[in-house]
Amino acid sequence: MEIYLPIAEMAVNPWLMLGIGLIVGGVSGLFGIGGGFLLTPLLILSGIPAPIAVVSGASVSAAASMSSFIPQWEKRALDLRLGLTMVTAGVMGVTIGSIIFRWLSMLGFAELVVRISYVLLLGFIGSSLLSESIKTMKNAKNPKILKRSKSNIGYLLPLKMRFPRSKLYISILPPIIIGFVIGILSAIMGVGGGFLLVPALIYIVNMPPSLVVGTSIFQVLILASTTAFMQSTSNGGLDVVLSSILIIGAVVGAQIGLFFGRKLRGEQLRILLGLVIIALTLVLALELFLTPKDIYTTSSAGGGL
Amino acid sequence: MKKIILFFSFLFGLLPQIAMAQRTRLAAALMDDSVLLTSNFNGAKLTMFGAVQLAGDTNTDIVIIIRGPNRQAWITKKSKIMGLWIGQKRVYFDAAPTFFGVASTRPIDEIAPKDTQSLYGMDALSQLNPHQNALSKQELEDFKTAFVNVREKQKLYINAPKAVQFMENGLFRADIKLPDLTPPGLYTVKVMVMKNKRPVDTTLQSFEVTKVGFERFIFQFARDNNFIYGLFGLLLALGAGFLSARLFRRING
């Protein structure tokens, strides 16, 4: 059975799309990230034109993060004040990032910068997540040995502010800078930035681990919604038939992911996330070195996209 | 003088008779004059019937050219820079057929030489209209050939050398497959009778590929009210997320 997509002007297998949505939603619910970084490449691999894949990515991230956000919100498992601070900076970062992106594409460096920074950044985050959580796990038997090293930069910088929910009295500069940088990166690299946010909240902001997922998902929700709306109105690439199928898979997947997320310990979750990120890094790095299967790519069949 | 008289007698007397006797007549019709893109559209079959009144020799071929609407297009070639696959070069086409099918009784290259094919628009390569660029002629040819190859893989450019079949008494039938990617628009179908590597008669037909019902509504709404459409898409996403969270909480108790 195939279903025809009115905007993409092609037929797809709805079960395949439902499966992709389920996987991406599961990853999103499990780790508290948007999952756009997985969805967009998966859609392009299944033959969906890139502009449609990018908008669908943002739209599905919005749905999945909404689905994981509600339970976190009801449990008050997020720091709204810290989240709002970061979101404000993040939206500004997205704006600046789009300008930088346009400038890079004008110079013809966009592809180069995006792909190399993707590999370096993901590789760094994935491997440090992995090595750090393995160390924690080993040390768990022997609690006398020091806990994980945390940055105390928030206590040293000026402009301190109280974040009662996180029981933190830190400078607002680190959250603002993190939000801003993630906004820039998400505009340039076309991703929600949840996978960057989670480690940043843990290691730089020193947020209590129980609030990390909720706060990160809040930021992803706002950024993904903004991106989805702006992109679908500006380039008209939103295919509601496609995104409906993906969303159904994603919201179910997100609930399943959340369920399993509650059963796993923090270190275990971080090891898993580290593995997912490292796998993605390897795929992206291989793409840089291996001869691509299709050297030529063309515009979509109906033209325009 | 004798020659001139001979010429005129030939022209006014003999020629029309000879021409009448040897005239090849062609008639053809499509089974359907529209293809509907519905929610379960997964390609379609286009069937055409026709008849040629053959005169004299029987060494006649039929070539059918189906051409979709012209649209802008581009092709990108990835390239290696410092050992990494990060470079790319793009060529834009001001106009390229979205669909181009050639169906014939024999391989097209046996029916007509390449230059005749280009002259009568019987090959996809001659139909691409690249935007002004700084590429060398050879490089541009490579890009055009690559574009045709990609479209052939997508079954949007088709070469079907056996798709036209003669039945009897000059009747013929042609079946051409349109893929699921078939873009909407007005399609023209040119039927040519080829004799001695030249077209001797031709007819022109057309059919329309259109979105209908729900698909048409969504497409037009998205184009005409993109702000509301974007908002609707976002609310749909957020609403679905909200509903699922509620639903699963009830299930989990």
Tokens of A46: 């299944």
Q: What is the average per-residue pLDDT within B156-174?
A: 89
Q: What is the average per-residue pLDDT within B203-217?
A: 89
Q: Tell me, what DSSP letter sits at residue B132?
A: P
Q: What is the average per-residue pLDDT within B147-166?
A: 91
For A231, the closest chain B residue by CA position comes to B230
Is the pLDDT at B125 greater than 70? The verdict is: yes
Highest average pLDDT, of A8-17, A178-187, B74-83, comes from A8-17
Measured between alpha carbons, how far is A196 from A204 in angstroms, rounded to an integer? Answer: 11
Confidence of residue B157 (pLDDT cuts 50, 70, 90): very high
pLDDT tens-digit series, residues B20-31: 445 677 888 888
CB-CB under 8 Å, A112 with B229: no
| Residue A274 backbone class (left: φ over 0; alpha: ψ -120 to 50; beta: rest) | alpha
Task: Name which of A71, A75, A70, A66 is nearest A250 in CA terms.
Answer: A66
Give the residue, A198 or B72, on which the prediction is more confident.
Answer: B72
Highest average pLDDT, of A36-40, A201-205, B140-144, B214-218, comes from B140-144
Look at residue A123 in the predicted model and tell me its pLDDT: 86
In DSSP notation, A222-278 reads HHHHHHHHHHHHHH----HHHHHHHHHHHHHHHHHHHHHHHHS-HHHHHHHHHHHHH
Look at residue B6 in the predicted model and tell me its pLDDT: 47
Measured between alpha carbons, how far is B222 from A239 in angstroms, rounded to an integer? Answer: 9
Is the pLDDT at B17 greater than 50? The verdict is: no
**Burial annotation A214-236 (CB, 10 A radius, 16+ → b, else e):** bbbbbbbbbbbbbbbbbbbbeeb
Q: What is the average per-residue pLDDT within B95-106?
A: 92
Q: Is A103 exposed, middle or buried (0-12, 13-18, 19+ CB in 10 A)?
A: exposed
> In chain A, what residues touch B180 (CB-CB under 8 Å)?
2, 4, 10-11
Sign of CA dihedral B127, B131, B136, B140: negative
Residue A290, SS3 per DSSP:
coil
Confidence of residue B187 (pLDDT cuts 50, 70, 90): very high
Confidence of residue B18 (pLDDT cuts 50, 70, 90): very low
CB-CB under 8 Å, B84 with A303: no
For A68, the closest chain B residue by CA position comes to B245
Main-chain phi, psi angles of B243, to 5 degrees: -60, -45
Confidence of residue B9 (pLDDT cuts 50, 70, 90): very low
Nearest to A295 among B42, B78, B227 (CB): B78
Look at residue A151 in the predicted model and tell me its pLDDT: 65
Q: Are B176 and B190 in contact (CB under 8 A)?
A: no
Look at residue A296 in the predicted model and tell me its pLDDT: 84
Is the pLDDT at B7 greater than 50? The verdict is: no
Give the residue, A225 or A36, on which the prediction is more confident.
Answer: A225
A with B: how many residue pairs have Cβ under 8 Å apart? 193
Measured between alpha carbons, how far is B82 from B103 in angstroms, rounded to an integer? Answer: 45
Window from A58-67, A101-110, A165-174, B89-98 with minimum mean pLDDT? A101-110
CB-CB under 8 Å, A290 with B85: yes
Asked if the C-beta of A143 comes within 8 angstroms of chain B's C-beta atoms, the answer is: no
Measured between alpha carbons, how far is A225 from B87 in angstroms, rounded to an integer? Answer: 32
Is the pLDDT at A278 greater than 70? The verdict is: yes
Q: Are B64 and B176 in contact (CB under 8 A)?
A: yes
> Is this prediction's ipTM beyond 0.90?
no
pLDDT tens-digit series, residues A204-255: 878 887 788 888 888 888 888 887 887 777 666 788 899 999 999 988 888 8
Is the pLDDT at A179 greater than 70? The verdict is: yes
Confidence of residue B146 (pLDDT cuts 50, 70, 90): very high
Q: Tell me, what DSSP letter sits at residue A3?
A: E
Considering chain A, what percentage of its residues have pLDDT values greater than 70? 89
Residue A294, SS3 per DSSP:
coil
For B226, the closest chain A residue by CA position comes to A233
Look at residue A20 in the predicted model and tell me its pLDDT: 93
Is the pLDDT at B113 greater than 70? The verdict is: yes
Considering chain A, what percentage of its residues have pLDDT values greater than 90? 6
Residue type for B144, please?
K
Look at residue A254 in the predicted model and tell me its pLDDT: 83
Q: How far from chain centre, in Å, is Cα B85?
A: 33
For residue B17, CA distances in Å to A5, B12, B87, B155, B168 come to 57, 9, 66, 46, 26
Residue in the block written with tokens 């590999």: A119
When the pLDDT of each residue in chain A is averaged and rounded to a whole number, the result is 80
pLDDT tens-digit series, residues A81-134: 888 888 888 888 878 887 887 787 777 666 677 777 778 888 888 888 788 788
**Best of B72, B75, B86, B218 to disrupt the A interface by mutation (most A CBs within 10 Å)?**
B86
For A115, the closest chain B residue by CA position comes to B86
Confidence of residue B151 (pLDDT cuts 50, 70, 90): very high
Confidence of residue A55 (pLDDT cuts 50, 70, 90): confident
Measured between alpha carbons, how far is B31 from B47 in angstroms, rounded to an integer? Answer: 6
Residue in the block written with tokens 């979101």: A87
Cα B47–Cα B48–Cα B54 angle in degrees, nearest 5 = 150
Q: Are B130 and B91 in contact (CB under 8 A)?
A: yes
**Best of B39, B220, B223, B234 to disrupt the A interface by mutation (most A CBs within 10 Å)?**
B234
Is the pLDDT at B163 greater than 80? The verdict is: yes
Give the residue, B183 or A237, on which the prediction is more confident.
Answer: B183
Look at residue B48 in the predicted model and tell me its pLDDT: 92
For residue A169, CA distances in Å to A154, A164, A174, A209, B49 come to 8, 8, 12, 16, 82
